[in-house]
Amino acid sequence: MPLLYRFFLTCLFFALAHTTAKAHPHSWIDLETSLIFNDQGHVIGLWQGWLFDDFYSAFTLEGMVPDKNGKYDQKALNSLAETNLKNLSEYSYFTFIHNDGEQAAYQPVQDYKTFVENNRLWMEFSVMLQEPIDPKTHKIDYAVYDPTYYVEILHAATGDPVQLSGKGALGCSYRLKNPEPPKEMSLMAAAMDKSESAGDGIGIYFAQHVEISCP
C-alpha cells in the first residue's frame, strides 16, 4: 500500500481507487521551504509550506461548508492537519535533511498552521533537528519527497520558494538541483496505476535537492 494511503486519510483516495487512470504521481504539492539558522550560524530546522492540488483540496473540503465570509471551520482543518502530521511522522515527514550524507534526527512536529487559499488547502509546519548542525564544518543538503512517488512534491515555480532564515544565515547560499530521473524510472512511473507501488526507492529520482553553502 503506497505511503500516501496512510497520509491522506480522506474520501479523495477512496474515489480515486475506482478510477482507471495510470501513471505516478497521483497528487501534487507546491512546496516552499526555509532552512532555519540560530544566531550562532547553526542549522536547527526546516520550515515547510505545502499547497495541495485542486483535486485533493476539493475532495478534502467536500462536506465542509464555509461561512458567509468564505472561511472554513478551523477546528476541522486543524484535525485534518493533525492526522496528516501524525501519519507523516512515521515517514520522517517526507523530509530528508542530511548531515555529511547521513540522515539527521528530528524532534516531533509541534507547531503547524493550516487554511484554505483560493480553494486550495495549505499546511505549514517546521521539522526541528535534535542537534544543531554547523554548515561551515558539515555538508548539509535536504529534500522533501514521497519515497513511493505517489505524490509529487516540488518547489513552487513562482516567487522565492527556497529561503534561508535567521541571523545566522548571513553569507550562506543554496543551490536547488532539479531531478533528472533515468529514462527507465520515468517509464516505470508512467506504467504504474494507483494500486501499484515500486516501494520506497523510486521517489528520490524525482525529488529536488537543496544544497547549502556557508563561508
| Predicted confidence band of residue 197 (pLDDT cuts 50, 70, 90) | low
pLDDT at 28 over 70: yes
Q: What pLDDT shows up at residue 132?
A: 98
Question: SS in 3 state form for 54-92?
Answer: HHHHHHHHCCCCCCCCCCCCHHHHHHHHHHHHHHHHHHH
pLDDT at 185 over 90: no
Residue with the bigger pLDDT between 181 and 106: it is 106
Residue with the bigger pLDDT between 23 and 207: it is 207
| Predicted confidence band of residue 174 (pLDDT cuts 50, 70, 90) | very high
Q: What percent of the chain has pLDDT over 90?
A: 71
DSSP at 193 = B
Q: Tens digit of pLDDT for each residue in 127-149?
A: 999 999 999 999 999 999 999 99
Q: Is the peptide bond before 135 cis (omega within 30 degrees of 0)?
A: no
pLDDT at 122 over 80: yes
pLDDT at 159 over 70: yes
pLDDT at 1 over 60: no
**Measured CA angle at 138 (ends 202, 103), to 5 deg:** 30
pLDDT at 207 over 80: yes
Q: What is the pTM of this model?
A: 0.86
Question: Across residues 73-101, what is the average pLDDT?
Answer: 95
Question: Across residues 117-127, what is the average pLDDT?
Answer: 96
Q: What pLDDT shows up at residue 3?
A: 46
Q: What pLDDT shows up at residue 123?
A: 98
Residue with the bigger pLDDT between 97 and 187: it is 97
Question: Across residues 11-40, what is the average pLDDT?
Answer: 72
Q: Is 11 helix (H, G, I), strand (E, B) or coil?
A: helix
Q: What pLDDT shows up at residue 43?
A: 98
